[in-house]
Amino acid sequence: MKTDSTQVVIIGGGPSGLLLSQLLHRAGVETLVLERQSRAHVLGRIRAGVLETGLVGLLRKAGVSARMDQQGAVHHGFHIAHQGRLDRIDLDARTDGQSVMVYGQTEVTRDLYDARDRMGGVVLHGVEDVRLCNLTNGQPHVLFRHAGAAHRVDATFIVGADGFHGVSRKSIPEGVLREYEKLYPFGWLGVLSETRPVQSELIYARHDRGFALCSMRNPKLSRYYIQVPLSERADAWSDAAFWEELRRRLPEGVADQIETGPSIEKSIAPLRSFVAEPMRYGALFLAGDAAHIVPPTGAKGLNLAASDIHYLHQGLIDYFLQNDSTGLDGYSERALARVWKAERFSWWMTCLLHQFPDMSPADLRLQQAELDYLFSSDAAQTVLAENYVGLPY
């Protein structure tokens, strides 16, 4: 068995793990990133593309923002369609000039990989049989197999950024770990198409037939979603059927402007709210989807992972460069405080815009009353806008 050592082992080579590795490397902290999948597989994942103010700043701090700043689109607002009309949330006006950046998560990941390559960062792909050892006593280390050989890496700390199904959270004993979960009785059928976006800003649609979302990746690449039952299969939906159903859920003036075309990706994503506590166990720190999942309504998934990385990279740098463990000691409590606020917002926005199977006529009227109140109240719109651009770190 080959034995190595580093300061921080990061399990997971998605955007969270890569961003943490990049920030630590720039500060002089050694890292090793272990990823189960190939780089091509990681870059082939289709994910959200709305970046909060805080994440945009973090990418700039990491030195990976050049392409985002050149190609990303700054959005100063978004729309909610309901009762056949289109109402706008003005982010600028409600948040003293804050905005969001529309730039695909795949592109963020690509930029991070390129930066890791330029700096000589070590990212191992195709890693198997990962085991986290001695998390609370002795020398913390990770055992794994790579390219057919057994490896051991000793580290001061281990960061689990390996997603909901990864090994990291499962390494915390059952008596210590507490998990909170809410499953939603529907999913999002998403289509990616090389078509012009229907509008320059996102449209969230509440309709009696179900939720819909008009989003984009760039001026020539659109991303659309419709709410479907969990029993649906993506391959059962033809492109024509998808476009027809999407149009039904949008105001007439918007539906008439949709440019259709062949889908280049089609999938169904289930919706869940999930939080694991604590986010630290000895030498192990959880980050991103390994610790929490939010419904995609409101685009908080990647952004919430970024706030974890913000707190964690600060704590690790203070520990290694200043021998100060304050940030790490308070990481779980600090991160979870923001996690639960984002979970609340994503749950609220999901309930506001989706049709639930057990909704009564009274439920439907209350849902519409909530929307009517939202667009009659400056205070309500401010609350929505503040959460959408991202709560402060």
Instruction: Report, as residue numbers or ranges, the catalytic residues.
Output: 75, 204, 296, 300, 388
**By C-alpha distance, which of 102, 95, 73, 79 is closest to 385?**
95
Instruction: Provide the 3-class DSSP secondary structure of residue 47.
Output: coil
Following CA atoms 337, 342, 344, 349 in sequence, which dihedral angle do they give, to the nearest 10 degrees? 170
Print the SS3 string covering 50-113. Answer: EECHHHHHHHHHCCCCHHHHHHCEEECEEEEEECCEEEEEEHHHHCCCCCEEECCHHHHHHHHH
| Distance in angstroms between the alpha carbons of the first and the last residue of the chain | 42
Residue 47: CB atoms within 10 A of its CB come to 17
Query: Are 81 and 252 a contacting pair, CB within 8 Å?
Result: no
Angle at 170 between CA 350 and CA 305, to 5 degrees: 45
- Non-local (6+) Cβ contacts of 57 within 8 A are none
- One-letter amino acid identity for 372? D
- Distance in angstroms (rounded) separating the CA atoms of residues 83 and 250: 9
Please list, residue by residue across 355-391, b when 16 or more beta carbons sit within 10 angstroms of its beta carbon and e when fewer do. beeeeeeeeeeebeebbeebeeeeeebeebbbbbbbb
Q: How many residues does the chain have?
A: 393
The distance from CA 146 to its chain's CA centroid, rounded to whole angstroms, is 28
Strands (E), 229-343: 263-277, 280-281, 284-286, 292-293
At 306, list the tokens. Answer: 């970024």
- Distance in angstroms (rounded) separating the CA atoms of residues 393 and 44: 30
